[in-house]
Amino acid sequence: MFTILMGILLLNPLNSFSQDSTKSNTLEMNKKDSIESKIDSLISIMTLKEKIGQLVLYNGSWDVTGPPSDVGNKEKFEKLKNGGVGAMLNVTSVAGTKELQSAVMKHSRLKIPLLFGYDVIHGYKTIFPIPLGESASWDLEAIKKSSAIAAKEATASGINWTFAPMVDISRDARWGRIMEGAGEDPFLGAKIAVARIQGFQGDDLADNTSLAACAKHFAAYGFAEGGRDYNTVSIGEYELHNTILPPFKAAAKAGVATMMSAFNEVDGIPATGHKELQRDILKDAWNWDGFIVSDWASISEMIFHGYAEDKIHAAERAIIAGNDMDMEGRAYEAGLEKLVKEGKVDEKLIDDAARRILKIKYDLGLFDDPYRYSDETREKNEIYTKENLEASRDVARKSIVLLKNDKDILPLKKDVKSIAVIGPLANDKDTPIGSWRAMATANSAVSLLEGIKTAVNKSVKISHAQGVALGTGERNFIKELAINREDTKGITEAVNIAKNAEVVILAIGEEAFQSGEGRSQVGIELTIPQQKLFEAVWEVNKNIVVVLMNGRPLAITNIAEKAPGIVETWHLGSESGNAIADVLFGDYNPSGKLPVSFPRDVGQIPIYYNAKNTGRPSNAEGLVFWSHYTDEKNEALFPFGHGLSYTTFQYKSLKISAPSFSSGGEITVSVTVTNTGKRKGKEVVQLYIRDLIGSLTRPIKELKGFELIELEPGKSKTVSFIINEETIQFYTADKKWEAEQGDFKVFVGGSSITELGVGFSFNK
Ligand code: BGC
């Protein structure tokens, strides 16, 4: 390595061994200036071809996460050696990354190190809950920690860039990728985006345990029409700014290193070619200095969108719009040189894109040591450790949401006489790993059955039957899934064991790959065989606890009416079964709250708590002419923010420090929360506001604050929230983020349907 490093130093005088990182502002500034001047010098000696090379991201063919490209490995390798590639994706392991990095270091003229990107979404090998599930914890520290562990494992294996977090807001359970985000709310989404970025990036990108993060998909990908992946998005300017952009803005402010553009079009313009979004808003208005990578081939897909004639035209549109790096699209390498030579693209745009990419490489410390993320010892010792698995179990149980608990059927006693553990997911060791599983080993999760067996006393009789199957074919990230929609033969066996058990635990829901990319569905109900299984078991034993495992909100209205206990466990990761058992048997008192509304019926979609009032919000006259469905309620089955505990919390003494405030001022809202039950428990205290009259119509409620508290039985805590101009700002009819004068209502409670409120006003 020494010779290689010397080589870099001799050939490129701009490299130098970095000074120690320091917290002091002056040193930070100096460091920034010194990186800037190194980039200036480097850019000045780069040929146009070499600069374009930095803008190219190739798939390593180890793993394919999109339609395979047409360039074979040999050709790719040659391009690498000639400085024609700036980054690779899906190349994992110390050996794999070293091999490619050394090709660049040995053969390319300027020896600019490669970035190695990978979808480290919810863990690398130790798997944490899927992001939607983890968001249900509302526990920012826990979320930050899981991202930090994922970063530690990935960087031990050569990776220095993750394509996460996905910060797309979505109100559509049909969209398979809803599992990858933080749900429906921009405020919660922004907080979680920042926690994940801080976890991945750590305090300093140059630390070899931190990764460059990537906020994606810019923008509005979660608003695909009909919930169909990659579909058209039509969204108004105000909705875009008020709902979609806040998590991206928070990510930019938190210093996310990169962002990824989206596959979809936004009102007629593909996001990847969208200048207003990328160059005007993200780079200019927000003054963000990271780089934008396209999504997989999304530059060349502008041809299919009908927005570009060919790859060359697509390259022109994308680079002008501000997209810096081409992921597997082959458009930049095909077109940029020609476009610059013909004067269609200003070389300054290429320089700017290359500079942004080089900056991240400097920030990551790659110019100091291109192999700093490829360390055999770390790879051997720091991945899938006992400690990481323990952390996964901890986040997993924090992510569980107790949806229903009639007559306190839960927690179960550990000396219950007999338990029938039934359902297609009861002993599934793979589904809990979920989609986007990075380097997880198939079938490596602790199944629910295993978790239960470990948790209960030896004397408990445990019986198990699958009942019905869920998926019938091979589980595969890239192939269509075969789902059992008919076979119910196993129900008889399940009914037999249910009859004789004191309690039934029924694990139903969705396969690992029923959600995720390319996995949209028109239905969000359980499969018919699973519904039949539930009905048959319920006929013989009413003591049922339903354990849901799923990547999207499910419409389980019939089951919710009957089953006394329902626990939402998402796809919880490596320690799933243990974490669920912790909750079922009361070793952990559940505290999760839904980050997304659960519809009663797929026909209610899009359904979200922060909706508008409409001009006909109620049926005061008892007539039909109000905004409603004639065959279903308007309300969600389980609303945003909902989640029960084994104890109860009472909210009282809601106080506001003053009835109004003016510009620059603030008021404080406080509420006393008391644990009125018999157990210690955690509660997410939520604060919502309603802006009564605005220059634009405003949502009936908007989350503006939350605090996770823990209380011993009988104890109280007064929780306070500050309300200032920032709390009530929005993107107004004047096309500015500002607070408008007027009357507001503030609500506090344990879910979005809280009615405990008080009014206040703001005067400019
Ligand atoms: C996805 C991205 C992902 C990329 C690389 C695309 O298909 O939309 O989210 O990061 O593939 O795997």
The pLDDT tens digits for 49-59 are 999 999 999 99
Considering just the CA atoms, what is the radius of gyration of the chain in Å? 27
Buried b (16+ CB within 10 A) or exposed e, 711-722: beeeebbebebe
**Quick check: CB of 222 below 6 Å from ligand 1?**
no
β pairing state of 660-662 and 757-763:
parallel
Which DSSP string corresponds to 404-453? Answer: EEGGG--SPPTT-SEEEEESTTTT-SSGGG-SS-TTPPTT-SPPHHHHHH
648: amino acid identity, one letter: T
Across the range 200-217, mean pLDDT stands at 97
Strand segments (E) across 593-675: 649-656, 660-662, 666-675
Identify which of 163, 217, 230 to mutate to test ligand 1's pocket (most ligand atoms within 8 A of the CB).
163
Distance between CA 565 and CA 624 in Å, rounded?
Answer: 35
Token pair in block for residue 371: 């192999």
pLDDT at site 60: 86
Which DSSP string corresponds to 267-285? Answer: TTEEGGG-HIIIIIIIIII
pLDDT at site 22: 46
Token pair in block for residue 137: 């914890």
Across the range 682-698, mean pLDDT stands at 98
Across the range 124-134, mean pLDDT stands at 98
> Residue with the nearest Cα to atom 4 of ligand 1?
296
Are 502 and 416 a contacting pair, CB within 8 Å? Answer: yes
> Residue with the nearest Cα to atom 10 of ligand 1?
163
Across the range 499-516, mean pLDDT stands at 97
| Confidence at 592, pLDDT banded by 50, 70, 90 | very high
SS3 112: coil
C-alpha distances in Å from residue 337, one per residue of 50, 291, 319, 379, 701? 10, 20, 12, 40, 51
pLDDT at site 170: 98
Percent of the chain with pLDDT over 70: 95
Question: For the segment 543-570, what is each residue's pLDDT rounded down to a tens digit?
Answer: 999 999 999 999 999 999 999 999 999 9
Tell me the CA–centroid distance for residue 121 and ligand 1, in Å: 11
Distance between CA 606 and CA 603 in Å, rounded?
Answer: 8
Question: For the segment 474-495, what is each residue's pLDDT rounded down to a tens digit?
Answer: 888 888 999 999 999 999 999 9
28-37, 128-137, 376-385, 668-677: least confident range: 28-37
Identify which of 119, 121, 436 to mutate to test ligand 1's pocket (most ligand atoms within 8 A of the CB).
119
β pairing state of 757-763 and 742-749:
antiparallel
First-to-last CA distance in the chain? 63
- Name the catalytic one among 119, 139, 172, 295: 295
Tell me the CA–centroid distance for residue 730 and ligand 1, in Å: 31
**Quick check: CB of 296 below 6 Å from ligand 1?**
yes
Tell me the CA–centroid distance for residue 550 and ligand 1, in Å: 21
Across the range 520-548, mean pLDDT stands at 98
| Confidence at 11, pLDDT banded by 50, 70, 90 | very low
- Summarize the chain as % helix, strand, coil (round to 5): 35, 20, 45
| Confidence at 23, pLDDT banded by 50, 70, 90 | low
CA atoms within 13 A on the CB side of 170: 31
Tell me the CA–centroid distance for residue 295 and ligand 1, in Å: 6
Ligand 1, residue 163: give the atom nearest the CA: 10
pLDDT at site 6: 29
Are 94 and 119 a contacting pair, CB within 8 Å? Answer: no
pLDDT at 2 over 50: no
Residues whose CB is less than 8 angstroms from the CB of residue 697 and which lie 6 or more positions away in sequence, other chains included: 612, 613
β pairing state of 681-691 and 742-749:
antiparallel
**Quick check: CB of 295 below 6 Å from ligand 1?**
yes
Alpha-helix residue ranges (DSSP H) falling in 327-366: 331-341, 347-363
pLDDT at 15 over 60: no
pLDDT at 69 over 70: no
Tell me the CA–centroid distance for residue 231 and ligand 1, in Å: 15
Are 679 and 713 a contacting pair, CB within 8 Å? Answer: yes
C-alpha distances in Å from residue 334, one per residue of 42, 312, 337, 561, 611? 24, 6, 8, 59, 45
Question: For the segment 703-744, what is each residue's pLDDT rounded down to a tens digit?
Answer: 999 999 999 999 999 999 999 999 999 999 999 999 999 999
| Confidence at 250, pLDDT banded by 50, 70, 90 | very high
Token pair in block for residue 722: 């500050």
Are 166 and 220 a contacting pair, CB within 8 Å? Answer: no
Report the chain's mean pLDDT, rounded to a whole number.
Answer: 94
**Quick check: CB of 329 below 6 Å from ligand 1?**
no
Buried b (16+ CB within 10 A) or exposed e, 93-103: bbebbbebbeb
pLDDT at 673 over 80: yes
Q: Which of 217, 193, 316, 320 is nearest to 265 (CA)?
A: 217
Are 737 and 701 a contacting pair, CB within 8 Å? Answer: no
Burial (CB count within 10 angstroms: exposed 0-12, middle 13-18, buried 19+), residue 17: exposed
Please give the order of strands across the beta sheet that includes 681-691: 660-662, 757-763, 742-749, 681-691, 702-711
Percent of the chain with pLDDT over 90: 90
pLDDT at 473 over 90: no
pLDDT at site 74: 77
Buried b (16+ CB within 10 A) or exposed e, 535-547: ebbbebbebbbbb
Across the range 506-524, mean pLDDT stands at 97
pLDDT at site 75: 81
pLDDT at site 72: 61
**Quick check: CB of 517 below 6 Å from ligand 1?**
yes
> Residue with the nearest Cα to atom 8 of ligand 1?
295
Q: Which of 697, 532, 703 is nearest to 614 (CA)?
A: 697
| Confidence at 31, pLDDT banded by 50, 70, 90 | confident
Token pair in block for residue 337: 């040189």
486: amino acid identity, one letter: E
pLDDT at 10 over 60: no
Distance between CA 757 and CA 689 in Å, rounded?
Answer: 9
Distance between CA 591 and CA 64 in Å, rounded?
Answer: 37
**Quick check: CB of 66 below 6 Å from ligand 1?**
yes
For the entire predicted model, the pTM comes to 0.95
pLDDT at site 24: 60
pLDDT at 62 over 70: no
**Quick check: CB of 65 below 6 Å from ligand 1?**
yes
β pairing state of 681-691 and 702-711:
antiparallel
Residues whose CB is less than 8 angstroms from the CB of residue 202 and which lie 6 or more positions away in sequence, other chains included: 148, 151, 209, 210
Beta-carbon count within 10 A of 564 CB: 16
Residues forming beta bridges with residue 672, ordered by sequence position = 652, 718
* 408 is annotated as an active-site residue: no
Token pair in block for residue 282: 């993200």
Distance between CA 734 and CA 196 in Å, rounded?
Answer: 33
Tell me the CA–centroid distance for residue 260 and ligand 1, in Å: 9
Distance of CA 297 to the CA centre of its chain: 21
| Confidence at 441, pLDDT banded by 50, 70, 90 | very high
